[in-house]
Amino acid sequence: MQLREALNDIAEIRAQIERTETFRGLRSLAVSASSLLVFCGAIASHYLQDQQNSVVVFVGIWATVAILGLVGAVAEMWFRANRSTSQTARRFVWQAHRAMSIQLAPSLLVGAVLTGVFVARPEISWVLPGMWAMVYSLGLISCRQHLPQAALWAASYFLVAGAACLIWAIDLTELNSRLAVWQMVVVFGIGQLLLAFLIYWKLERFDGETEN
């Protein structure tokens, strides 16, 4: 009986250490809010895209959505870190954030360069939603050590969904088509909700409002 209790205690301590070592600055609230931004971006795309400059408008709308989502995530992390009474916890959050930024940088750079290429070549701009999804998938994978292990399911979703976009949109030559907007909604709207759920289920449900 004592041996079993000791083993249970060891397993509990190990689980607690794993949760502590996981970057907890990225929260489900900020990720789910980014999903809401995707739906707002879809509405904006519906009303603002025009026939003459559709690719530029499309990229501008979704770049704005991405930037707002990133700003929201950083703002929430900053708020939680500064509200924490533990200096060690605050230092850990900022160190993890810096490490994530470095790991994400190559994916963001590649995505930005490819986007510029496709804007300059509107005839192949149909690849944008799928390409963005696959680049984002690589970004999540590169940050896997700072995310719950289950976040790899979200990365897999973005990878598969991005490939599906490229296959099904092979004949799409104009981004003013509603198909491109629906691709963004299905891929990123649902994908971000999935990521938010995984973060909540694997981290936040254990301790509610644990401070970082």
Q: Domain residue spans in the chain?
A: 27-207
Which is nearest to 180 in space by CA: 59, 53, 32?
59
pLDDT at 210: 43
From the CB of residue 135, how many other CB atoms can be counted at a distance below 10 Å? Answer: 21
Distance between CA atoms of residues 116 and 23, nearest Å: 32
Which is nearest to 28 in space by CA: 207, 191, 173, 203?
203
Report the pLDDT averaged over residues 84-103.
Answer: 70
Distance between CA atoms of residues 120 and 46, nearest Å: 22
Which is nearest to 181 in space by CA: 64, 61, 31?
61
Distance between CA atoms of residues 190 and 153, nearest Å: 13
**Is pLDDT larger for residue 44 or for residue 48?**
44
pLDDT at 7: 58
pLDDT band with cut points at 50, 70 and 90 for residue 132: very high
Distance between CA atoms of residues 95 and 210, nearest Å: 18
DSSP string, 148-184: -TTHHHHHHHHHHHHHHHHHHTTT---TTSHHHHHHH
Distance between CA atoms of residues 147 and 103, nearest Å: 12
Distance between CA atoms of residues 154 and 162, nearest Å: 12
Q: Can you tell me whether residue 42 is helix, strand or coil? A: helix
**Is pLDDT larger for residue 67 or for residue 119?**
67
Which is nearest to 79 in space by CA: 95, 69, 90?
90
Report the pLDDT averaged over residues 91-105.
Answer: 76
> Is 136 within 8 Å of 160 (Cβ atoms)?
no
The highest-confidence range among 150-159, 175-184, 194-203, by mean pLDDT, is: 150-159
> Is 37 within 8 Å of 184 (Cβ atoms)?
no
